[in-house]
Structure 1
């Protein structure tokens, strides 16, 4: 018998397959990965200079409200903040593997490299980062720089007019909350301490504080900066325990329970006033902000105090182990305290979000003006959503077709007298059959006109307040411009705070009505010339801009059944939306003397009949889609469905489901009512309490 036939093999460790659990397969790789991470962490030690100029803070913040007195409220909590020398941060001197790093965006490698990295275990381990700081979470600018310090310098130069900040400022110390496990929470306040650039870098004395920049962020991801200059506009007598103190006017919407009036009293101390350069030691943070009403009453205050430990591996691990979830709680705390202020005993009503101010004239218009002297502009704006981007493409396409299809240079400038040569398609009111008496025409001709009767060429500039968005310029083609060299050159500039400007042009029956609401009333955008705006947006396709006596206008174009059906849906949606906005005008409003004697909600030429249901024709912006490109009309239809349904859903959510209470007259769905009251010079004010202290307690 062959011995191999009777050979029996047994495993060295007798383990049955049924006894193997998933943990036996998962745990070994995890332990190996953890060992590699610990090895990486131990292999990196920060230099004494780097760790002594950057710190870890466990700060205590206290918030207390005093006005209205019946809504007094206070709370406090702890939060983790990092104090970082930006030069050390951005040069990767503070990077600790898997614990903290400066998350500078990297260029995308080729596909083959990405695939190779995907199957490399070490790359997966590098992705594990507990804390990080990313430039995208701070200032935004057109230079697309990945340096927070350079972005700060750009803001100081462009926004605050400080020339050559890199020649005046050396060290910049940023106090902010980091990104935690890939989650970036709201950063209500980031403080930049800017120190004077030393003439001798080897000087053992810490350079003096020169500027302080307070970068405020609200829950809408908008940012606004306040500049404090040491020795300039400081209060002569500071509070005990503080070295510097300023009073600055407010200009930014932060809390939904306050308007934008009043001022801030800022008290702070230089955290490095007692520190020795390059010596590892604790530093102290002392910061206080008092919210003052227009009359100077103390309405609210917040403090931020703490001790900063040098940024070392051991201190970082210690803070992480003691406060593992603190950085997840900031947004939740804001929502919780807001709920208590609104639904609880304080019973404060809500101010809806206003657009950040972008123009000095518009800063004091709209339902929520800023404090006199407040700084114009913002350092961070809301990103446009897909709906706003679609609307922008549609409007730009409309203006581009206008430039290509209609030779702008051949149009004479319109008179200031009302133009009645409107066709039914594209006009808000059909004036085709109306005749102007000859006497009125003669009077209109005799009146002095601010506009030239010479033909003109119009350039349209769409200028966003957000500097990271491109300015769009739509000018006549070079051929037309060259052939019409003897004509007057005119420019229509439209400034807007957000891309909602483009949506306004599409959801309202005509661009002129949108201008009355968005520009004149809400101050969300600004038109440089109403005459040019009317000429470009409303009269472009419906008025042929032919010289008087040059011949009849082309007859209306008959639409196919499909295009007529789409046009009917678009008009029906606008009609429904406009009627819904008009439904908030009460019978008491209709009986007001200023309205009772009128037949239109708006003065001429925007006739909107008070009696009878509202009707509208196609907007001029619809015409390219209805005549040439059906897909464009379908995009307008989808955009209207989304925008109108979102506003209706918000109304149901806030008014009926959650029963949120807005400050009377400030509700977003009352913007048409505000425009009508403004056009008829009817006061649409809020109670005296609101104007006095900038907050309103519900009486119930």
Structure 2
């Protein structure tokens, strides 16, 4: 070749550098990943026996409201539900790579996350279209934590044992769950999950399908609370079920589901065993039919609401799962939106329905029939799912438990000193000059800021407190039991330490007393923090709202020092000594100003006309004795008994009290602004959440609320007022 000639080279594929786009870089790995996913899916085969015992449903649900007659309303829509044999589900026999998985939680979550992060071969496993997770269903009680959120079936059995006194391990074999799955990691509101529980066969090799024994209806509301209704085949059934159904019951209601219904009335439930009409065609897939109906009846037996659920279930196979996904790609995202949209139309439309605020799930037979939203008599107590406690409630619980621990130990120490003093009498302080631990509180009236702090040593404070209690407390040992209605939470028992060996003989003669407080939710702890005194919190949360229950008022007053608070509030002539440091005193004043503002805001909902009513005008206090809250003049308050130990020795906890108050008050003010002014929500009767104090005052003074214009419609639930 002549060196003068130029060698010309051309690329095999004539692509200019400027013509390469981002999609050219992204598309090949995506196609490779898709090919790998298809390979994984095709490599997993579900046996015919397994697929014929689990099904995929495209169900139609229809809702219709009949009362009030001027507010009739109906709608219907499609939804995807999976019918799953729980034994097959939890054995991973239904798992299909990237399409469906039983999401069993890992024991070591942190290690699993690191493994996923640094192992590229496992990244494709993160792609799951549908899944079922035990955390979306029942939780176990603390005694059965070995299986907590590991097995849906064992969690169901735990609920049947604790809630309904059954022996499911001996009675129940197959459990068939009908529920909506998690879709692309999103778990929607699951309004109703149905557990069909079949009798445990004597011979496991029997080819016949076992008979239906129990049906459990697991109802979930928009507050992530759950309640279960147990239906027993052949027990309390109606003799002649409606056409098209095999079984029918009427059961009393006990759970808050719709904001337009109270908790009274009953459900008429009609259903059939889905496997009783199993269609086996040798030339086609075997299918089953779902037929479910629930009618809401008022206390007088009128039909108020109807909901039906009907559909046909196809076998759980890869092809059927892909077909459902392709036909209904977004339907599982729409359930929550549909609920909100239809509720908005009912409330904001004309004529519109007023709403009931969320009540606390009931936990006590007596308290179930009182409070602002009682249940139907005979309804099942308790819930199977509760709202998770937020940071505010957890802090409040820690503060209250710390305070009660101090008080229980203090009462035991004082009782020991009293017993020792009986053999060596000492001069007693005069009742007129005797102070309690509250006598050391800062008087937080407006002129208290001018008082100079007078700090005492910790030993002097302890000695002084013991002397004050020597003549006021009887020798006894008090234990406190905090009993949550949520059985998945631990019972908190607070007892004094055992007596020393030299005091054992004396301790055997002490009176053993136990204060038990049952509470529906962690709001019990925030009530004790937010209200000025534990006594007022008890009047509102216990006696008026029925949100918690005290076993003994005498013990409650003693443990929370309520008698001393009342005595101090009634005699303000002698200002208590100030014994707080400047930072503690400043923080205490902030805390009590917040409480004062909050209490005055709650009192502002009592109208001038109501203040001038005969029942209140003749009184000097909002509450009857011994709780004194002056009507004349602005409300003033001093430190709560719960504050004092932390103001003296733990400013971090005192700061948490301030944060809890700030958070709770801001949340209620924000809710009031949004619901009252912005959205202009209308509540039924006197059910406004910010009327808690007003309801308690009216109940304490036996004052009936002003009759509503449509009070004659109260028996059908939500009232209707002109817009």
Alignment TM-score > 0.5, same fold = yes
**Aligned equivalent of 1:494:** 517
> Displacement, 1:698?
1.7
Residues 84-93 or 421-430, more deviating: 421-430
- Matching of residue 191 in structure 1 with residue 189 in structure 2: no
Q: Is 1:155 equivalent to 2:159 in the alignment? A: yes
Q: Residue by residue, what CA displacement relative to the aligned partner does 1:292-327 show, whole Å, maximum 9, x if unpaired?
A: 000000011100011111111011000110000000
Q: Where in structure 2 are there 5+ consecutive unaligned residues? A: 420-430, 446-471, 568-573
| Aligned partner of 1:572 among 590, 593, 604 | 593
Query: Does structure 1 residue 642 correspond to structure 2 residue 647?
Result: no
1:456 to 463, 473, 476: 476
SS at 1:212's partner residue?
A: strand
Q: 1:54 to 1:278 in 2, by over 3 A?
A: farther
> Per-residue CA shift, 1:216-254, capped at 9, x if unaligned?
000000000000000000001111111000000000000
Identify the residue that residue 425 of structure 2 maps to in structure 1: none
Residues 412-468 of structure 1, C-alpha deviations (whole Å, 9 max, x = no match): 89xxx99995545569999xxxxxxxxxxxxxxxxxxxxx99521000111111111
Per the alignment, residue 343 of structure 2 pairs with 338
> Hey, what's the Cα distance between the residues in 2 that align with 1:136 and 1:189?
16
How do 1:445-524 and structure 2 match up within 5 A?
455-479=475-499, 482=504, 484-524=507-547
CA contact (8 A) 1:49 1:278 kept: no
686-695 or 304-313, which deviates more = 686-695
Please list the CA deviations of residues 340-398 of structure 1 after superposition, one character each: whole Å capped at 9, or x if unmatched. 00001240001000000011111011100000000000000000001101111111111
Distance 1:41 1:121 in 2: 19
1:659-697 deviation digits (Å, cap 9, x = unpaired): 111112000000100000111112237643353112211
Equivalent in the alignment of 2:299: 294
Partner of 2:619: 598
| Structure 2 match to 1:242 | 245
**Would the alpha carbon gap of residues 396 and 278 (structure 1) be closer, same or farther in structure 2, given more than 3 Å must change?**
farther
Question: What is the CA-CA distance between 1:403 and the residue it aligns to?
Answer: 3.6
Distance 1:683 1:3 in 2: 113
In structure 1, C-alpha distance between the alignment counterparts of 2:521 and 2:443, rounded to whole Å: 26
Q: Give the Å deviation of 1:7.
A: 7.6
What is residue 670 of structure 1 aligned with on the other side?
Answer: 691
* Contact kept? 2:245, 2:272, Cα under 8 Å: yes
SS for the counterpart of 2:296 is strand
Which secondary structure does the structure 2 equivalent of 1:173 belong to? Answer: strand
Judged with a 3 Å threshold, the aligned counterparts in structure 2 of structure 1 residues 358 and 428 are, in CA distance, closer, same or farther, namely farther
Q: Distance in 2 between matches of 1:487 and 1:64?
A: 63
CA contact (8 A) 1:132 1:180 kept: yes
The aligned residue for residue 625 of structure 1 is: 646
Deviation at 1:193, TM superposition (A): 0.5
Measured against aligned partners, the alpha-carbon deviations of 1:451-489 in whole angstroms (never above 9, x if no partner) come to x99521000111111111111111001136845221000
State the Cα deviation string for residues 59-106 of structure 1 (Å, max 9, x = none).
Answer: 111100011111111111110000001111110111111111111001
Q: Quick one: distance in 2 between partners of 1:118 and 1:615?
A: 57
User: C-alpha displacement at 1:275, in angstroms?
Assistant: 2.2
Secondary structure at the aligned position of 2:164 is classed as coil
Supply the distance in 2 between the matched residues of 1:139 and 1:110 (Cα, whole angstroms): 24
Q: Residue in 2 aligned with 1:347? A: 352
Which segment drifts farther, 150-159 or 557-566? 557-566
**Contact 1:459–1:475 (CA<8 Å) still a contact in 2?**
yes
Worse-matched range after superposition: 300-309 or 454-463: 454-463
Q: Secondary structure at the match of 1:378?
A: coil
Provide the C-alpha distance between the structure 1 equivalents of 2:109 and 2:387, rounded to a whole number of angstroms.
30
- Asked if structure 2 preserves the Cα contact closer than 8 Å seen for 1:408 and 1:458, the reply is no
The separation in 1 between residues aligned to 2:364 and 2:512, in whole angstroms, is 24
Of 131-140 and 11-20, more deviation after overlay is shown by 11-20
Are the aligned partners of 2:440 and 2:579 in contact in 1 as well (CA < 8 Å)?
no
Question: Residues 149 and 109 from structure 1, CA distance in 2 versus in 1: closer, same or farther, beyond 3 angstroms?
Answer: closer
1:185/1:331 contact within 8 Å kept = yes
CA distance in 1, matches of 2:224, 2:288: 31
Aligned counterpart, 1:387: 392
Distance 2:200 2:536 in 1: 54
1:409–1:458 contact (8 Å) kept in structure 2: no
Distance 1:21 1:686, change over 3 A: farther
Q: Sort the Cα spacing of 1:666 and 1:114 in 2 relative to 1 into closer, same or farther, 3 A.
A: closer
Which range is displaced more, 583-592 or 396-405?
396-405
Q: RMSD across aligned C-alpha pairs, in angstroms?
A: 2.9
The answer to whether the Cα contact below 8 Å between 2:362 and 2:382 also exists between their aligned partners in 1 is yes
8 Å contact kept, 1:425–1:618: no
Over 3 Å counting, the alpha-carbon distance change for 1:420 and 1:514 in structure 2 is: farther
The runs of 5 or more residues in structure 1 that have no matched partner are 431-451, 545-552
Conservation of the 8 A alpha-carbon contact between 1:139 and 1:152: yes
Conserved? CA contact 1:689–1:695, under 8 Å: no
Separation (CA, whole Å) in 1 of partners of 2:697 and 2:550:
19
Identify the match of residue 558 of structure 1 among 570, 573, 579.
Answer: 579
Once the two structures are superposed, the pairs formed by residues 239-278 of structure 1 within 5 Å of their partners are 239-275=242-278
- SS of equivalent residue, structure 1 residue 171: strand
| Distance of 1:426 and 1:58 partners within structure 2 | 66
Distance 1:649 1:554 in 2: 37
* Residues 321, 686 of structure 1: alpha-carbon distance in 2 compared, 3 angstrom cutoff: farther
Q: Does the Cα contact within 8 Å between 1:425 and 1:619 map onto a contact in 2?
A: no
Change (3 A) 1:116 1:459: closer
Is it true that 1:314 corresponds to 2:335 in the alignment? no
- Native 8 Å contact 1:340 1:346 kept in 2: no
SS of residue paired to 1:28: helix
Secondary structure of the 2:579 match is coil
1:17 Cα deviation after fit: 2.5
Deviations 1:531-589 (A, max 9, x none): 11111113599799xxxxxxxx9974422222111111101000000000000001121
Distance 1:206 1:502 in 2: 50
Deviations 1:612-645 (CA, angstroms, capped at 9, x unpaired): 1000000010101211111111111111111101
Q: Following the alignment from structure 1 to structure 2, what is the Cα–Cα distance between the partners of residues 225 and 29?
A: 48
Q: 1:165 to 1:651 in 2, by over 3 A?
A: same
Structure 2: how far apart are the matches of 1:505 and 1:345?
Answer: 41
In 2, the alpha carbon distance for the partners of 1:6 and 1:637 equals 85
Alignment of 1:355-374 (within 5 A): 355-374=360-379
Check whether the contact 2:444–2:639 (CA below 8 A) recurs between aligned residues.
no
Aligned to 1:661: 682
Distance in 2 separating the partners of 1:94 and 1:455: 64
Q: Which piece of structure 1 moves more, 622-631 or 607-616?
A: 622-631
Residue equivalent to 1:51? 51
Q: What is the deviation of 1:404? A: 4.3
Partner of 1:63: 63
